[in-house]
């Protein structure tokens, strides 16, 4: 795949997507994270994979954009609801793994 497709801020997010996925998984499994953020993550997954949708996919662009907005906002909120020292610890561990 051409490297120019992964330029700019969107490309940076795509390059770090595996690290974000590791972070979400590690936080979800961490006992120091309360039930509320974990429930939010489960609800996001249910919403995204459910056939019921607030805006149906039949509407070409808007149908997909609502899923993207809900997913990104939910993931952002999930991390914000987790204890910051726990998030920092997992981010540091993931960064160390990627350097090794």
Mean pLDDT for 88-96 is 96
Query: DSSP string covering the chain, please?
Result: --GGGG-HHHHHHHHTHHHHHHHHHHHHH-TTS-HHHHHHHHHHHHHHH-S--SS-TTSTTHHHHHHHHHHHHHHHHHHHHS-HHHHHHHHHHHHHHHH-
pTM listed for this prediction: 0.79
Q: Tell whether the model's pLDDT for residue 12 goes beyond 50.
A: yes
Q: Name the average pLDDT for the chain.
A: 86
Bigger pLDDT: 31 vs 99: 31
Kindly report which listed range (4-13, 19-28, 59-68, 75-84) carries the lowest average pLDDT score: 4-13
Question: Given pLDDT bands bounded at 50, 70 and 90, which one contains residue 1?
Answer: very low
User: Tens digit of pLDDT for each residue in 22-38?
Assistant: 999 999 999 999 999 99
């Amino acid at each position: 795949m051409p490297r120019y497709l992964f330029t700019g801020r969107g490309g940076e997010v795509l390059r770090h997507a595996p690290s974000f996925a590791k972070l979400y998984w590690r936080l979800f499994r961490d006992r120091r994270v309360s039930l509320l953020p974990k429930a939010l993550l489960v609800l996001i997954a249910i919403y995204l994979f459910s056939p019921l949708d607030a805006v149906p996919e039949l509407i070409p662009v808007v149908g997909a954009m609502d899923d993207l907005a809900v997913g990104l906002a939910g993931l952002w909120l999930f991390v914000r609801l987790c204890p910051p020292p726990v998030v920092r610890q997992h981010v540091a561990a993931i960064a160390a793994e990627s350097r090794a």
